């Protein structure tokens, strides 16, 4: 774990972008998985909140590394629309956080990027990152 943190904090910009990209893709898959749950437990809602916080923080960090504009108000609290816009801007800059490359072993093995477990029903404009209640 300590090695992973030190690698994320490395001064090697391309390596940092690569590591943050892997983290973002893993968290994106996890967030999509939580959003597909019909009745999430309290623990799943708490995990969703923690993953969303990590995801948003990493989005802003990698946007800064790639010189992608982040609106000042969005730096502290990304709305679902801000999140989608930032994901799209990062994809245009060459980092697609929704790509399924380099799947991690921590990802939900049942989740498939192209095939949602619930058929993609009830997904919001934010790509499935609406708060689970």
Please indicate, yes or no, if residue 119 is contained in any of the structural domains.
Answer: no
**The whole model's pTM is what?**
0.67
Average pLDDT value over all residues in the chain = 76
* 39/123 Cα distance (integer angstroms): 15
CA dist list (Å): 75 to 19, 31, 63, 71, 109: 20, 20, 10, 7, 32
Tokens of 12: 């090697």
Q: Which residues are CB-neighbours of 24 under 8 A, at least 6 positions away? A: 55, 58, 59, 62, 95, 97
What is the token pair recorded at 125? 């404009």
| pLDDT, tens digit (0-9, with 9 covering 90-100), for 47-104 | 999 999 999 999 999 999 999 999 888 888 899 999 999 999 999 999 999 877 544 3
Residue 120 lies in a domain: no
Residue 63 lies in a domain: yes
What is the C-alpha end-to-end distance of the chain, expressed in Å? 31
Q: Domain tally for the chain?
A: 1
Q: Note down the domain range covering 29.
A: 2-92
Beta carbons within 8 Å of 37's beta carbon, 6+ residues apart: 44, 132
Residue 100 lies in a domain: no
* 10 in any annotated domain: yes
130 within a domain of the structure (yes/no) = no
| Mean pLDDT (whole number) for 12-39 | 93
Residue 116 covered by a domain: no
Question: Does some domain include residue 60?
Answer: yes
């Amino acid at each position: 774990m300590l090695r992973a943190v030190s690698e994320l904090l490395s001064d090697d910009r391309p390596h940092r972008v690569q590591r943050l990209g892997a983290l973002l893709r893993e968290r994106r898959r996890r967030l999509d998985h939580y959003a597909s749950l019909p009745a999430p437990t309290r623990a799943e809602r708490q995990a969703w909140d923690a993953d969303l916080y990590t995801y948003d923080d990493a989005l802003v960090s990698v946007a800064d590394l790639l010189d992608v504009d982040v609106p000042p108000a969005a730096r502290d609290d990304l709305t679902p629309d801000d999140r989608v816009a930032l994901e799209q801007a990062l994809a245009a800059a060459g980092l697609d956080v929704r790509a399924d490359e380099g799947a991690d072993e921590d990802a939900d093995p049942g989740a498939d990027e192209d095939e949602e477990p619930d058929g993609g029903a009830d997904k919001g404009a934010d790509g499935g990152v609406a708060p689970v209640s």
